[in-house]
Amino acid sequence: MMDELASVDKSLLEVPCSRTVAGDSFPAGVMDFNVNIGNPTVFKPSESYFRIACTVTAGSNQPSLSSHEVALADNFCGALFNQVSFRAGGQDVSSCQRYVAQGEQLRMRLSKSYAWQKSVGKNAFMIDDDYESRRRVISYDDEIIAYSGEITIDVDGIVGGDGTNFWGDGVRTGMILAIPAGPSTLKYPITGIVNGSPNFLTVKVPTGFTAITVPTDYKVVTEEDRYTSSNGRNRVYVLWKPGIGIFDDAVALGAGNYTISLNPATNYKTAALQTLETNTNSATYNLTIDDIRFYASTYKMEKPDMIEELTLHEVDVQSKVIGDSGNVSSLQFTVPPSTYGVAVFFQAGNAGYDSIAPSTLFKTKQVYPPLSTSVDERSLQNVQISYAGMTRPTVNWTNQAFTYDNTIAGATSTNELQQRYIDTISETGMLYNVGGVESFESYLKRGLYVYYEFLKSESNKATDLQLSCNLASGLPADTRLFICALYTKMVNITTSNGLVTQVSSKVV
């Protein structure tokens, strides 16, 4: 089919929503995108996508500035919806009925290479683990940010001084500390910041730097050229392919009537934004959806008469509150009988309802800057899943709890999570992917997950799953444990005279 398609005309069919979606109309019920394909034409969902236009504003409906600290969430588009479905001739073909954001983020992390994430994913689909990078896309930096007070810099680049509130005034790593020196200006990149009493910065100083011991006036500047940069445009377009099986399958569907239905999340204004401080009020940072269009990839050709059997890969996401102890013994879940893989991750109970914890961030309750005493999902010490007569991992091995010490000197910090990372990547089959995989840094930044395959015979229709795990005590009380079951769905599509005449599906 692919060879045939390569020799025929290809075009994108623009499909608007059947109802108004802009502004306050966005959450007002299900959105249907009706794709009507006439003969002789075929439709390829895997090459199709949505284009979503949105605007982010700060207080008083103003464009966002660097000091506002707001960004679109990683994998932003999935966080806008809580249900997605694809139908052919009125029959269900592929869908996700709950936790769309979490399921979609997990699918992306399981399957997309590092090269894809850092190129097309980042530049077109807003898939980017780095908050600061996403913030710059929609928030332009003031050319000069001036502060009162005077500073000193010691030989190691540690900045101190009276009357300074670096963190509270919006100073962040990557900005430039500038000190006037006669007709020129000395510039030092800011490499670190500690929010405490007192505040202090770390800047990169040259070898042989002479300490500045006399309190000196300073300012913080940014180096962005907003005339040439694509950043700083608070109204942006983001592309999106829903995380359901039909959009991953290379099938070319015959002529007929297709409907993609999206159910907006009522909490989308906080679920799809990320801030560094708790925010549940859209009057502070507001997200407005301006437009949504679907672009259907079509080819001019008549599909031959056939009965086509598709094996679609879907996800089913469930969650339970596990409390603050971190001890979870024999949690029970019911999963689809065709489940072949299970992922486990953790999230704050307020995820999606407070922009400090967007729906696609797999982390427990967030506090910025992180406190040295906090316990979070990285304190996972062991996890074991029993399903379909198999237990993974077979040996319930344990690692030390993740610890860290912001004082640098003295206490020993521990990080044994590399093994969780490498075992999970190995299970996905991506360990030796030529495009690379999600880095260990990204794995922890987005929030860790563990994944195991359960390959079984077709006659094994097990649906009962048990899970036990242990995290260090002291977790936030509202911490939730999520499981994501990856399963297959069989869909038969009958095509006659170039038209889809019958669709049937089942989970086997």
> What pLDDT is stored for residue 226 in this prediction?
55
Contact 488, 340 (CB under 8 A): yes
pLDDT in tens, the chain (508 residues): 545 555 578 999 999 999 999 999 999 999 999 999 999 999 999 999 999 999 998 876 676 665 678 899 999 999 999 999 999 988 999 999 999 999 999 999 999 999 999 999 999 999 999 998 898 888 765 556 666 678 889 999 998 876 667 777 778 887 888 887 777 778 888 888 877 766 778 888 888 888 988 888 888 877 655 555 667 788 899 999 999 999 999 999 999 999 999 999 999 999 999 998 888 887 788 999 999 999 999 999 989 999 999 999 999 999 999 988 888 888 999 999 999 999 999 999 999 999 999 999 999 987 765 554 568 898 899 999 999 999 999 988 888 888 765 454 556 678 889 999 999 999 999 888 889 999 999 999 999 999 999 999 989 999 999 999 998 877 888 899 999 999 999 999 999 999 999 999 887 7
Question: Which pairing describes strands 306-321 and 256-264: parallel, antiparallel, or unpaired?
Answer: unpaired
Beta carbons within 8 Å of 418's beta carbon, 6+ residues apart: 440
The pair of three-digit structure tokens given for residue 271, joined into one six-digit string: 């679920």
The pair of three-digit structure tokens given for residue 200, joined into one six-digit string: 């202090």
Spans of all domains in the chain? 2-138+231-507, 144-221
Helix (H) or strand (E) holding 382: strand 380-387
Beta carbons within 8 Å of 289's beta carbon, 6+ residues apart: 21, 22, 23, 26, 52, 53, 54, 80, 268
Beta carbons within 8 Å of 419's beta carbon, 6+ residues apart: 399
> What pLDDT is stored for residue 404 in this prediction?
63
> What pLDDT is stored for residue 368 in this prediction?
66
> What pLDDT is stored for residue 372 in this prediction?
47
Read off the pTM.
0.83
Contact 305, 439 (CB under 8 A): no
Beta carbons within 8 Å of 60's beta carbon, 6+ residues apart: none
> What pLDDT is stored for residue 325 in this prediction?
80
CA-to-CA distance for 409 and 292, rounded, in angstroms? 52
* Residue 451: CA count within 13 A, CB half-sphere: 23
> What pLDDT is stored for residue 437 in this prediction?
93
Q: Which residue has the tokens 């001019």?
A: 300
One-letter identity of residue 288: T
Give me the torsion for CA of 365, 369, 370, 373, rounded to 10°.
-110
Contact 493, 253 (CB under 8 A): yes
Contact 31, 264 (CB under 8 A): yes
